[in-house]
Amino acid sequence: MPIIVNLDVMMAKRKMSLNELSEKVDITLSNLSILKTGKAKAIRFSTLEAICQALHCQPGDILEFRECLE
């Protein structure tokens, strides 16, 4: 998939655990884990906004597009 989720990178930079982010964003651990591992098929803008507020970052810090070289 050409969309890469760098949530784990931003969490590490902010020294925030999955549990702490889950509480701040009010999203279940399982859904946050799916997003973190890149297995999510979609993300709501409201969820992305809450994550960005909690991590003090921009959406581009979390989501990245990489061209497929096939």
Cα(59)–Cα(68) distance, integer angstroms: 21
Quick one: CA dihedral 58, 67, 16, 18, positive or negative?
Answer: positive
- Largest Cα–Cα separation, the chain: 40
Q: Hey, where are the domains in the chain?
A: 3-65
Q: How confident is the model at residue 70 (pLDDT cuts 50, 70, 90)?
A: low
Q: At what angle do helices 18-25 and 29-36 cross, to 10 degrees?
A: 110
Give tens-digit pLDDT for 3-29: 999 999 999 999 999 999 999 999 999
What is the CATH architecture assignment of 3-65?
A: Orthogonal Bundle (1.10)
pTM of this prediction? 0.89
Quick one: CA dihedral 13, 16, 18, 24, positive or negative?
Answer: negative
